[in-house]
Amino acid sequence: MPAGPRWPGHNVALRRPPGLRSLLPSAASERLHAWHPGRARRWQKYPGLERIDARGCAALTFDDGPDPDATPAVLEALDRAGVHATFFFLGTQVESHPDLAREVVDRGHEVALHGYGHERQDRTPPQRSAEDLQRGFSVLDESLGVQCRWYRPPYGRMSAAAARTCASLGMSVVYWSTWGLDWERISAARIAEIVTGELDDGGIVLLHDSARYARRQSAAATADAIEVIVENARERGISLTSLGDAVSAA
């Protein structure tokens, strides 16, 4: 993979996936790193896609599904808003809810990998880490006919073993530039406020269509926030779309 540009003030070159011109952080992601300096160091060690070098669009992504709790409501909200998104699925959830997983694909959304289980890779033994990614990749391939292009590590935590396995499976690592803090017990209005406050061209939005690994009981508030987020983005000339489509537009 060719070397990409370097972060100012650092000697770590960011490796850019094919077809991408830049992985440089925006002002929004720089603020996020300022709040979380440990994350900045981790993401420099295992570079991935935090944003896309594209104008007029941003990627809308969801983690932890599919889940009957909120995935159906998220799909309905996306339909009403007229946008597609990328769903980072867990293999365990696909096995538990295969029809719902298929519905996501049938509605034209992009599917990517969040792992088989919800493993924090930096605390997972190397062999188990490799098996988690390989098994998750296989489940999505066998159940949905999807060979995943993207992998987002749970909690944004990578490891050398996870990075090697991603490369062997042909997947690029994806992080995010803005999120909705929607694992917390907050309202739809607050989720939308947080996302739109940081959203800009080329951003990658992280939301959740499941509360399985959250502090809240349901992810319904996320579904309720979607149309407000999409409308606000459009008012600023930003079209929300899937990660793959946003990369293609770069």
Q: Among candidates 52, 51, 63, which has minimal Cα distance to 175?
A: 51
**What are the C-alpha distances in Å from 78 to residues 30, 67, 74, 186?**
29, 16, 6, 21
Instruction: Identify the bridge partners of residue 86 per DSSP, sorted by sequence position.
Output: 61, 110
Question: Residue 2: is it exposed, middle or buried by C-beta count within 10 angstroms (0-12/13-18/19+)?
Answer: exposed
Q: Among candidates 191, 166, 182, which has minimal Cα distance to 112?
A: 166
Instruction: Identify the bridge partners of residue 58 per DSSP, sorted by sequence position.
Output: 240
Task: Tokens for 234, please give them.
Answer: 């459009």
Q: Among candidates 58, 83, 63, 74, which has minimal Cα distance to 177?
A: 58
CA distance 203 to 29: 9
Which residues are tagged catalytic? Answer: 63, 208
Helix (H, G, I), strand (E, B) or coil at 7: coil
Task: Tokens for 7, please give them.
Answer: 């972060």
User: Is 85:105 a contact under the CB 8 Å cutoff?
Assistant: no
